[in-house]
Amino acid sequence: MTYGSTAKILRVNLTSGELTVETLSEDFYRLYPGGKALAGYILLNEIPPHTDPFAPENVLVIANGLLTGAPVSTATRYVVSARSPLTNGYGESEAGGFWGPELKMAGFEAIVVTGRSPQPVYLWIQDGVFEIRPAQHLWGRTTAEAQETIRTELGDDKIRVLQIGIAGENLVRYAGLTNDLRHFNGRTGMGAVMGSKNLRAIAVRGTQRYQALAHDPETLLALGRKLSKSARENPLSWDLQQRGTPGLVEPLNTGGILPTRNFRQGVFEGVDEIKWEAYEKELLTARRSCYACAVRCKREVAVNGQPSLYGGPEYETIGAFGSNCGISNLQAIAKAGELCNAYMLDSISTGMTISFAMECFEHGLIGLDETDGIDLRFGNVEAMLTMVERIARREGFGDLLAEGSLRAAEKIGGDAKYFAIQVKGQELAMHEPRGKYNVGMGYAISEIGADHLVVAHDPAFANPDSIQFKSALALGITVPQPPRLLNAEKMKHFYILEKWGSMEKAIGYCFFGPSPRSFIHPDDVLLSINAATGWNLSMEDTLQIGERATNMARIFNLREGFSRQDDTLPERLFQGLENGPLQGNAIPREDFEQALTVLYDLKGWDPATGVPGRERLEALSLGWAADLLEAQ
């Protein structure tokens, strides 16, 4: 028996309609224990090189983390992965909520989808029983309408529904997925891949509890009780419980690093209208949680006086449609987020692509003729809301913006590419790296394009007396470093933290769970894994889980033509901020390039090319991946 896991994968061939179950061995699971690690292995081995992301041959993997569904706060995450239509590289997006735990309760760790159905369908799974059902009646409907329809026809309002929306049906390159309408796999266009397969939804219902799978359920339950208490007492998680991510708006603005007007500025003059106090007064109606999580960082809101079916906007949505588009109307920002969730667009890429278009408009690269008469200037609320709708439906100018800012810039021409604030084709999240240099390194080196969750952010490691820094000692981080610095010690931080963050994506922990970002000490993370599995892993073993997953994703991208030249940042970030306390501050280009070389060396990658060396891959039990590299 493989403790901690059902060890079962459901394979779905939508072309033939065949469904089969595969059981993984414990030896395999020790190396690829779910989530990012399992998905990376499958993608690298089963997607032919240079496969069109919208071709039937692209493989869509939906994989729980090892601990997903365990009775431990923040162990709720699953990954959706495929070749990305936005970047043409390794695609991946994580989400929490209830769907992942429900899939494990229904008997499966992962679903691997291949082929393309001739007609729209959805997948129904209940306690190990599964079938493909017609979904023509769901096509063209909002996510709320589709979820209600599925639950009604299956006769159970407790069914958990993971689904795409109209944006995924229309192959918007940054379309995502939602479960329970409030939890989102937003990034890299995984909803478009699912839409290209004519798969609208996956509905699940299960009754098996995680404790029945665990090696030592009593220890796991005791740890869960301890961590639940800690989540209510630790200031890092307590603040998330009280304010959620919208609480970030004001402190980031005060620090001069709130992305404003397409990352030109770091301070927004309308911040008082979009900060937490305004959110609490204008929008907030309740607080919610993911499965078995004591942090409770999710917000319920009313938009324009009406209770929203889709939950409240997170910080990323507020930043993307608010300060970054020059908009201080909080109700309009919440409405934009609601539209994204109804049509299932990634709110980060949507807001960033609109802000890109706004800057192009203000510089005269596009005009009213191109934008269908829409005055697409910073601060224009109606223009912003109209473009969200048109992107989802690929109508008019929205059809171009549905391709993402990089492809749109290439079509517009001139200086437009300078205004596309992206890495590898994916738009930056709402974290300004000119104030947090390791966040910039994470954007640059991430295999999925710009990603703010590669490593815990720099300020956590500046003060040796902070809770965060003290917890990081267990990972081997011992020398504090200021946020605005790139040197060898800082790259040591990055190397360790990247492994740790990647491990979280394989194990199923939320970024708001383990230290140093939040309240679960690394020793308790290790205890939870060993109590679930009986593997008796060391801290180094655990870090290798993350490093192994990162290397597989890197090799996937190398196979698709990526190189060191793609591990870079938008030109704007090498130029100074236009306002605020960090006015004039920029990422030093020479320091960045030198630090990248140091980081490659730490990772065992060729400093000139970024190709992982065989020696390091063999040490990670990835000799087979080294063979793939050499066979290219």
Provide the 3-class DSSP secondary structure of residue 524. Answer: helix
Helix axes 589-603, 437-445, angle to 10 degrees: 60
Half-sphere exposure of 57 (CA within 13 A, CB side): 9
Distance (Å, rounded) from C-alpha 507 to C-alpha 529? 8
Instruction: Answer yes or no: do 208 and 260 share one domain.
Output: no
445 in the same domain as 316: no
What is the pLDDT at residue 1? Answer: 67
Please list the residues that pair with 132 across neighbouring strands.
Answer: 123
Strands 177-179 and 426-427, bridge-based pairing: unpaired
Note whether residue 601 is domain-resident: yes
User: pTM of the predicted model, to two decimals?
Assistant: 0.98
Contact status, residue 201 vs residue 164, Cβ threshold 8 Å: yes
Closest by Cα among 293, 357, 303 to 325: 357
The three state secondary structure string of 115-136 is CCCCCCEEEEEECCEEEEEECC
429 within domain boundaries: no
Q: What is the pLDDT of residue 35?
A: 98
Q: How far apart are CA 616 and CA 500, in angstroms?
A: 17
Q: Same domain for 23 and 104? A: yes
- Do 364 and 447 belong together in one domain? no
**Domain-located, residue 227:** no
Answer yes or no: do 197 and 285 share one domain.
Answer: no
Both 82 and 187 in one domain: the answer is: yes
Q: Which of 192, 212, 232 is the last residue of a domain?
A: 212
Does 12 lie in the same domain as 159? yes
Among residues 152, 187, 212, the one where a domain terminates is: 212
Task: Name the stretches of the chain with pLDDT < 70.
Answer: 1
User: In this structure, which amino acid lies at residue 197?
Assistant: K
Q: Is residue 225 part of a domain?
A: no
342 and 467 assigned to the same domain: no
Distance CA 223, CA 531 (A): 9
**What is the rounded radius of gyration, in angstroms, for the C-alpha atoms of the chain?**
23
Please, is 504 exposed, middle or buried when counting C-beta atoms within 10 Å of its C-beta (0-12, 13-18, 19+)?
buried
3-state secondary structure of 469: helix
Q: Write out the DSSP string of 103-119.
A: HHHTT-SEEEEES--SS
CATH code where residue 598 lies: 1.10.599.10
Provide the CATH number for the domain around residue 145. 3.60.9.10
Last residue of a domain, one of 166, 189, 212: 212
| Claim to verify: residue 445 and residue 593 sit in the same structural domain | yes
Total domain count for the chain? 3
- Specify which residues 131 forms β-bridges with: 124
The answer as to whether 431 is a domain residue is no
Residue 247 to residue 308: CA distance in whole angstroms: 20
What's the CATH code of the domain at 267?
A: 1.10.569.10
The answer to whether residue 261 is domain-embedded is yes
Query: Tokens at residue 614, please?
Result: 């065989």
CA angle in degrees (0–180, nearest 5) for 499-110-69: 75
Asked if 196 and 98 sit in the same domain, the reply is yes
Q: Are 107 and 251 in contact (CB under 8 A)?
A: no
Give the model's pLDDT for residue 236: 85
Q: Are 114 and 35 within one domain?
A: yes
User: Is 432 domain-assigned?
Assistant: no
d(CA 191, CA 54): 11
Residues in contact with 116: Cβ distance below 8 Å, sequence separation at least 6, in sequence order = 14, 15, 56, 196, 197, 198
Contact by Cβ (8 Å): 514, 522: yes
Residue range(s) defining the domain that contains residue 181: 8-212
Residue 35 lies in a domain: yes
Q: pLDDT tens-digit profile of 518-574?
A: 999 999 999 999 999 999 999 999 999 999 999 999 999 999 999 999 999 999 999
Which residues are CB-contacts of 34 (< 8 A; sequence separation ≥ 6)?
5, 63, 64, 65, 66, 68, 109, 110, 506, 507, 508
Same-domain pairing of 28 and 171: yes
Phi, psi of 343 (to 5 degrees): -100, -15
